[in-house]
A = this chain, B = another copy of it.
């Protein structure tokens, strides 16, 4: 039952987490930022900056795309959003899991899904020993064709 309750409120928890993190770092909570937090916390896919902006225009007609970018930069700094860089698709953002985790990406339609987590700690240690790098993060993407695109040829 704890689990079910957590699942229902996970989005709200994320918004609260973002708010408290920004307060701690002496940043102001504006209506624009709050609205962006909510979009990020409620998105299941991995929206682009422009997708976030588009979703906000209904309730915030004057929302600027620059504000979306600035807020994303801020959340990146504070470790509250994960940025997935794609020079072709454009960057995508995960506000629900702001820590490294694998992604499965459809090269047909651009869909990005979160599979179950993977423990790469052992591999990471091996890489540090081998290269001498101090590794703090990773990125693991799998590329393929989603079930939907497989059907549609």
Question: How many identical chains are in the complex?
Answer: 2
Smallest distance from the beta carbon of A73 to chain B beta carbons, Å? 11
Give Cα A26 to B102, complex, Å. 38
Q: For the complex, is A134 an interface residue (Cβ under 8 Å from B)?
A: yes
A-side interface residues, number (CB < 8 Å)? 37
Q: Are B145 and A133 in contact (CB under 8 A)?
A: yes
Question: Do residues A133 and B146 form an inter-chain contact, with CB atoms below 8 A?
Answer: yes
Dominant SS among interface residues on chain A: mixed
* Interface residues in A6-28 (C-beta closer than 8 Å to B): none
Question: At the interface with chain B, which of A30-38, A39-47, A59-67, A86-94?
Answer: A86-94
- Are B137 and A139 closer than 8 Å at their CB atoms? no
Contact between B135 and A142, CB atoms less than 8 A apart: yes
Residue ranges of A at the interface with B (Cβ–Cβ < 8 Å): 85-88, 90-91, 102, 104, 106-107, 113, 115-116, 118, 123-124, 127-128, 130-147, 150
